[in-house]
Amino acid sequence: MSQLTVDELKTATRLRRKIYQDHAAGCCWHIVLDDGNLEDSSVVFCIQQAKQRGCTFCMDLGPLVKRMSRTQRAKLSTGGYNKLLDAPSS
Ligand SMILES: [Zn+2]
């Protein structure tokens, strides 16, 4: 398992925003992002849901969340990485 790069964290944050634009409760990622179930088994469940539904943004988010630590998942779910996107690029 390799650490996520800042770019990957930004990508995950963008995907989370897109998912919440269309689905107030987090779509396929509801149990992780909305309910705070951060363990691997919940992540695997969400990935399966996304595949079954053919949900593009949710599927794209899968491999990134899978590699995250619980702390990172918690931070993503509460919007803790949003500032990465709002920061001016240097
Ligand atoms: Zn979905």
- Compute, in angstroms, the gap from residue 45 CA to the centroid of ligand 1: 12
pTM score of the predicted model: 0.91
- Compute, in angstroms, the gap from residue 90 CA to the centroid of ligand 1: 33
Residue partners of 27: CB distance under 8 A and separation at least 6: 19, 50, 55, 57, 58
Tell me if 50 sits within 8 A of 62, measured CB to CB. yes
Domain ranges of the chain: 6-79
Q: How would you classify residue 84: left for phi > 0, otherwise alpha for psi between -120 and 50, otherwise beta? A: alpha
Give the C-alpha separation, 55 to 50, whole Å: 5
What tens digit of pLDDT does each residue of 10-59 get? 999 999 999 999 999 999 999 999 999 999 999 999 999 999 999 999 99
- Compute, in angstroms, the gap from residue 55 CA to the centroid of ligand 1: 5
Give the C-alpha separation, 4 to 9, whole Å: 6
Give the C-alpha separation, 87 to 85, whole Å: 6
- Compute, in angstroms, the gap from residue 54 CA to the centroid of ligand 1: 8
Instruction: Give residue 90's pLDDT.
Output: 58
